[in-house]
Amino acid sequence: MIPNTDSALRMLSQRLMTQLLPDLKSEYSQSDGMLLGMLMMAIADEVATGIDTRMKDIADMKALLEQGRDYHDAGLLTVAEPASLSLKDVNQLHDDLTRHLIELHARVEIADSSEASQMLGDIWHYLEASTGRHAIAAMG
């Protein structure tokens, strides 16, 4: 059987916060334990959806970089897919594309055209959507 890592982390976190923390006498230990429980929940979310979330960002960033090809070197898009679907490889591609998007954003900021204005709006829309996708549900 393949373990459901995110569910296991959530159950451990709930046990920590509901059964173990109330027995601790020190307020510091209770606060520290609560923080650990919340971090476990955030990690559970990351395990459950982290790669999918990054792949959505990657698709959006590739589309933006393609849309803004007049503002940057077309060679930036040579890496189109992660080497694997491991979190490490997906993070690497996500980080690379983010650096390219920052470069594009800087170049579009100084351009003076209606296309540049549209591009800026599209970049900010992506940033807002990405921020929403990466929100930590356990903290909400």
**In contact, 58 and 93? CB cutoff 8 Å:** yes
pLDDT per residue rounded down to tens, the chain (140 residues): 567 888 999 999 999 989 988 888 899 999 999 999 999 999 999 888 999 999 999 999 999 999 998 887 766 566 678 999 999 999 999 999 999 999 999 999 998 888 999 999 999 999 999 999 998 876 66
102 class by beta-carbon count within 10 Å (0-12 exposed, 13-18 middle, 19+ buried): exposed
25 class by beta-carbon count within 10 Å (0-12 exposed, 13-18 middle, 19+ buried): exposed
pLDDT for position 3: 72
pLDDT for position 4: 87
Q: How far apart are CA 126 and CA 136, in angstroms?
A: 18
Return the domain boundaries, the chain. 5-139
Residue 36, token pair as written in the block? 């650990």
SS3 99: helix
Residue 62 half-sphere exposure, CB side, CA atoms within 13 Å?
A: 14
Q: How far apart are CA 6 and CA 24, in angstroms?
A: 26
Residue 107 half-sphere exposure, CB side, CA atoms within 13 Å?
A: 14
pLDDT for position 140: 60
pLDDT for position 79: 62
**In contact, 109 and 44? CB cutoff 8 Å:** no
